Amino acid sequence: MSGSELERTGQKPTGQDLTEGCVLCGKCLEVCPLLAATGREELSPRAKANLVQLLGRDPNALSEQDAATLAGFCLGCGRCKDACSQGVDVPGAVSRLRNAHPGWKAWVWKQWMERSKALWPKAGKAARVIPEGLAPGRLSGLLKLARGLGREPIAPCVRVESFPDSLRGTEALLFSGCTASGAAPHWTTAGEAICDGLGLVRINAAFSCCGSGLATAGLLDERLEAARRNVEIWRSAGRPLLVAFCASCTLGLAGYAETPALAGELFQDQAEAGQWAGSLTPLSSLLNSARFVVSQGAPQGTGYHRPCHLQGPDPDETLVRGMLGDRELAISKDCCGFGGILQLGAPTLSAQVASRCWKKLAPAPGTLVLTGCSACVLQLSATAPEGIQTAHWLEAIATNDRR
Ligand code: SF4
Ligand code: SF4
């Protein structure tokens, strides 16, 4: 159900239904990266669950401005949702709050997401020459993101010696996502080359945004529209294998079938929703039995950043371990502080979370930190200490001799 539909049907779009059942146990306090980085209890998931409950009972309990401000203070990482035994969905409720209190931040974020192809390359170039002090307070977060977009690709340090051939001849769609389409076309080129190496028969398609960034910002109608377009492309192509290389996109696309209200809007029936879920495959998992050779000039220190919205096995981490063989790999499990719209609403909080993440990883100079999430690449690149390289794992693989 979209934000607008909630309003049309008379339900309060506060997300109260998503926070019902909160027993104030405080389990979520242990996992919230925003609380860990700031020590501010009022930013904790428990406080936000309470706030949403309060707004549901008495819409005048907070001013419009206060509700909108608090709705901005969440990274949308989902850790609290996974930790909560009562099924309380704080990030979902915050998304609804944002939808109910749209302001300039949501508007800017909408332009930023929907016009990624046109805006991001220009923003990446401009950000390299704009001194940080010149960006007006809240836009400094956006400038940071833009710096991440303007980064140069790293030199590849691994090559594929042999590809598995179990999927040779299988038709596939490659879902690149907004960052690759708007600012990192070399990821798409590398992804395509890997698909070719695997022997997949690629079908060309121009997908929309997966919609997860739009949903986090409360732009639920826009997310629904993007999802409809994506499902139609997949359906028209004969429902083939759908391969994605961004961990956030994979999660966003998986959500189409996992969220009952959304699945009801998007799919003809449950069988088609199941087909969607079954066809969606992270590119990294297709390389599980590939053999890699690490080049002699590869960085001495290597790290892997695990996106915090991922629970359970992480196919990107498995791949990176396989790529690097017996090299030591430092693992970062702390939130990088991206948080999408948080960069606009509270760039200082976002920076605090990022700083904590880097302090805990404490990489030696010259370390290369890889990840599989586009948003994490941007945030890590924008906040990395001097002398630390960050990249999507796709960049680490040499692709010139692959086709
Ligand atoms: S949101 Fe869940 S984990 Fe957090 S205080 Fe409420 S019941 Fe406990
Ligand atoms: S989604 Fe993440 S940042 Fe937001 S309240 Fe939950 S744990 Fe904290």
Lowest mean pLDDT among 124-133, 190-199, 234-243: 124-133
Q: Is the CB of residue 46 below 6 angstroms from any atom belonging to ligand 1?
A: yes
Rounded Cα distance, 86 and 68, in Å:
26
Ligand 2 centre to CA of 184 (Å) is 28
Short-list 354, 324, 252, CA closest to 36: 354
**Closest ligand to the CA of 24:** 1
The CATH number of domain 3-101, selected from 1.10.1060, 1.20.1740, 1.10.357, 1.10.1740: 1.10.1060
| Residue 199, pLDDT above cutoff 70 | yes
Residue from 168, 322, 368, 336 nearest 248 by CA: 336
Specify the residue with its C-alpha closest to ligand 1, atom 4: 28
Q: For Cα atoms 30, 36, 40, give the angle at the middle one, nearest 5 degrees.
A: 105
CA of 28, closest atom in ligand 2: 7
Answer whether 3-101 and 162-286 agree in fold.
no
> Nearest residue CA, atom 5 of ligand 2?
45
Distance 21 CA to ligand 1 centre (A): 8
For the CA of 75, the closest atom of ligand 2 is 3
| Distance between CA atoms of residues 398 and 193, nearest Å | 10
- Domain assignments of the chain as residue spans, ordered by start: 3-101, 162-286, 289-398
pLDDT at 278: 98
* CA 65 / ligand 2 centre spacing (Å): 21
Burial class (CB in 10 A: 0-12, 13-18, 19+), 332: buried
* CATH of 162-286 among 3.10.450, 3.10.20, 1.20.1050, 1.10.10: 1.20.1050
pLDDT digits 0-9 by tens, 245-286: 999 999 999 999 998 889 999 999 999 999 999 999 999 999
Contacts of residue 203, Cβ cutoff 8 Å, sequence gap at least 6: 171, 172, 173, 237, 240
* Domain 289-398 in CATH 3.40.50: yes
Contacts (Cβ under 8 Å, ≥6 apart) of 289: 164
Which of 92-101, 244-253, 289-298, 372-381 has the lowest average pLDDT? 92-101
Percent above pLDDT 90 for the chain: 42
Residue 126 pLDDT greater than 60, yes or no: no
Cα angle value 48/50/54 (rounded, 5°): 115
Q: Which of 311, 307, 240 is nearest to 275 (CA)?
A: 240
